[in-house]
């Protein structure tokens, strides 16, 4: 599956192809829009210059007529009336020496910047327009007009008309928005048309191949790829199909080799463990068995003779208990090393489970564990009663010991209905901490234990060996009670394992 937030292969291809086709178009549209914008800017600027020049001529004629018989000081009221007309920001009036005579309040901050322009206009033959850049008000358009009664007449002064170019910026911004909206609309239309064309020709068959490839990456090699095409994409699908057939054959060979190697390794490991246990048990039986019998015998003899001091009697009881426990460990080692199954007979698993549970009633009561047995009638297998009893005893004791603070143990016996050969199944559930997932593969190995110093690691290994000698299996899984469930499956009567 794709990671969250990542594009699928088909979508990624769609994006790349769409970008490949649309980027040049978008660049051309952007270039066209920029050229149109610059042309529009130039047209607006030229129009503003022409408009201000024309206004300058008209103002010059009007002021020359007004100044007949009047002085420049009398232009103040008239020029103030011009401010705000024809998008004018203001008017400044200079005398023939270039000194400021009058200015509109709206252009007071421009007096120093406009002064050189006015002095230049004194000697100019005709009105001219310049752009003045201000730090606070942006670009301003100034038209300087010399006031003369006629060609070659005396200089009366200079009038400077100032227009704010920021109004042009507003018009350019509106034009930019229109161009941008048109470009976006064209981009959407072209994108939609491109995607429609790509979907049927490329994206859909590539998507089919991508989905099959994802399932193959997840481990499924049973895919059959058919995109319904006979072009390059169809040939790619057929090549993919042939590759899958080769992978299936190779995986079958690898699985068979791995299974054979694993089986051989298990047999070798088991044989090595049995050899080690055999050597160890023989050594213990010889080196420890005789001294242990002496210790146990002396302790029991002392107890039989009677002890008057409670402290001494307690110590003797502990010696007896420890010696018995050591003897049981040695017997477990010897039992695990012996691979010969005892005499077989029909064994009623339900009756055996109830008998074993009654044997453990005292231990259950001591640890506050409630044990229940649910057994179907007539569940009989052919096997060794002592060995099957030992398996049940080991599993029940483990379940009790897994709950030192009290709990529940459920024992169930039933016919193996899921087994095509019939047979039987019994399980032991507890409410303890369970068996960690990482320990389940080793829990039936000799000397492996999760009980730290309290366990020998032989109980489940011995049980596994005994069950396999009966041709059965034993497994561990999670229990509905919250702990572990051990399940033993045995074949029907007459289908036992090696004797």
Q: Tokens 């007009």: give the residue.
A: 145
Least confident of 160-164, 176-180, 237-241: 237-241
More confident residue, 68 or 250: 250
How would you classify the pairing of strands 380-383 and 138-147? unpaired
What digits encode the pLDDT tens for the residues 397-432? 989 988 888 899 999 999 876 555 567 999 999 998
pLDDT (0 to 100) of residue 276? 67
Fold of 11-172: Beta-Lactamase (3.30.450)
CATH number of 341-499: 3.30.565.10
Q: How confident is the model at residue 238 (pLDDT cuts 50, 70, 90)?
A: confident
**Closest alpha carbon to 38 in 172, 130, 141, 131:** 172
- DSSP structure class, residue 226: -
3-state class (DSSP) for residue 2 = coil
3-state class (DSSP) for residue 199 = helix
What digits encode the pLDDT tens for the residues 145-177? 888 877 767 788 888 888 887 777 777 788 888
Two tokens at 186? 């064209």
Q: Supply the DSSP string of 12-65, one letter for each residue.
A: HHHHHHHHHHHHHHHHHHHHHHHHHHHHHHHHHHHHHHHHHHHHHHHHHHHHHH
What stretch of H or E contains 407?
A: strand 407-415
Q: How confident is the model at residue 370 (pLDDT cuts 50, 70, 90)?
A: very high
* Contact status, residue 308 vs residue 347, Cβ threshold 8 Å: no
pLDDT (0 to 100) of residue 413? 94
Find residue 487's DSSP bridge partners.
427, 475
Least confident of 88-102, 288-302, 326-340, 343-357: 326-340
3-state class (DSSP) for residue 497 = coil
* Contact status, residue 149 vs residue 64, Cβ threshold 8 Å: yes
Greatest mean pLDDT among 33-47, 262-276, 362-376: 362-376
Q: Has residue 55 got a pLDDT over 70? A: yes
* Contact status, residue 413 vs residue 424, Cβ threshold 8 Å: yes
Least confident of 96-105, 225-234, 360-369, 404-413: 225-234
* Nearest-angstrom CA–CA distance, 361 and 356: 9
- Average pLDDT for the chain: 77
Domain range summary for the chain, segments of one domain joined by +: 11-172, 341-499
More confident residue, 239 or 69: 239
Greatest mean pLDDT among 161-170, 206-215, 322-331, 381-390: 381-390
Two tokens at 58? 């008209």
* Nearest-angstrom CA–CA distance, 243 and 212: 12
* Contact status, residue 482 vs residue 493, Cβ threshold 8 Å: no
pLDDT (0 to 100) of residue 4? 43
**3-state DSSP percent of the chain in helix, strand and coil, to 5:** 60, 15, 25
How many of the other CB atoms lie within 10 Å of CB of 161?
27
Greatest mean pLDDT among 79-83, 101-105, 448-452: 101-105
What stretch of H or E contains 380?
A: strand 380-383
- DSSP structure class, residue 335: H
Check if 11-172 and 341-499 are the same fold. no
């Amino acid at each position: 599956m794709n990671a969250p937030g990542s594009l699928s292969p088909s979508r990624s291809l769609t994006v790349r192809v769409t970008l490949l086709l649309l980027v040049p178009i978008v660049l051309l549209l952007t270039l066209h829009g920029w050229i149109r914008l610059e042309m529009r800017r130039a047209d607006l600027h030229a129009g503003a210059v022409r408009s201000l020049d024309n206004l300058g001529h008209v103002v010059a004629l009007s002021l020359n007529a007004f100044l007949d018989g009047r002085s420049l000081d009398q232009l103040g009221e008239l020029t103030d009336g011009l401010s705000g007309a024809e998008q004018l920001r203001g008017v400044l009036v200079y005398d023939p020496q270039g000194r400021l005579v009058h200015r509109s309040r709206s252009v007071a901050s421009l007096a120093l910047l406009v002064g050189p322009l006015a002095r230049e206009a004194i000697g100019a033959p005709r009105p001219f327009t310049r752009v003045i850049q201000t730090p606070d008000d942006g670009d301003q358009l100034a038209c300087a007009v010399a006031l003369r009664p006629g060609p070659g007449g005396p200089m009366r002064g200079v009038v400077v008309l100032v227009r704010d170019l920021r109004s042009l910026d507003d018009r350019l911004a509106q034009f930019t928005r229109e161009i941008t909206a048109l470009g976006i609309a064209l981009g959407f239309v072209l994108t939609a048309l491109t995607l429609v064309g790509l979907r049927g020709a490329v994206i859909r068959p590539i998507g089919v191949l991508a989905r099959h490839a994802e399932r193959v990456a997840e481990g499924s090699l049973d895919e059959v790829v058919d995109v319904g095409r006979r072009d390059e994409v169809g040939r790619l699908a057929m090549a993919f199909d042939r590759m899958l057939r080769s992978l299936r054959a190779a995986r079958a060979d690898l699985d068979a080799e791995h299974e054979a190697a694993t089986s051989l390794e298990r047999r070798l490991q088991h044989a090595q463990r049995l050899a080690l246990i055999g050597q160890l048990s023989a050594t213990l039986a010889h080196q420890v068995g005789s001294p242990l019998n002496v210790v146990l015998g002396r302790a029991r003899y002392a107890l039989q003779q009677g002890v008057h001091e409670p402290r001494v009697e307690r110590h003797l009881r502990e010696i007896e208990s420890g010696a018995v426990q050591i003897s049981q460990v040695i017997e477990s080692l010897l039992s695990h090393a012996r691979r010969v199954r005892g005499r077989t007979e029909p064994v009623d698993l339900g009756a055996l489970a109830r008998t074993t549970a009654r044997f453990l009633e005292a231990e259950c009561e001591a640890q506050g564990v409630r044990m229940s047995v649910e057994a179907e009638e007539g569940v009989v297998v052919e096997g060794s009663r002592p060995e099957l009893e030992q398996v049940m005893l080991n599993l029940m004791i483990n379940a009790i010991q897994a709950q030192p603070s009290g709990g529940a143990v459920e024992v169930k016996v039933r016919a193996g209905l899921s087994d095509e050969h019939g047979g039987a199944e019994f399980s032991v559930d507890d409410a303890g901490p369970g068996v960690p997932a990482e320990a389940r593969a080793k829990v039936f190995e000799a000397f492996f234990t999760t009980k730290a110093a309290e366990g020998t690691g032989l109980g489940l290994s011995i049980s596994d060996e005994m069950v396999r000698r009966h041709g059965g299996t034993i497994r561990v899984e999670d229990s509905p009670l919250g702990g572990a469930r051990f399940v033993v499956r045995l074949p029907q009567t007459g289908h036992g394992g090696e004797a």
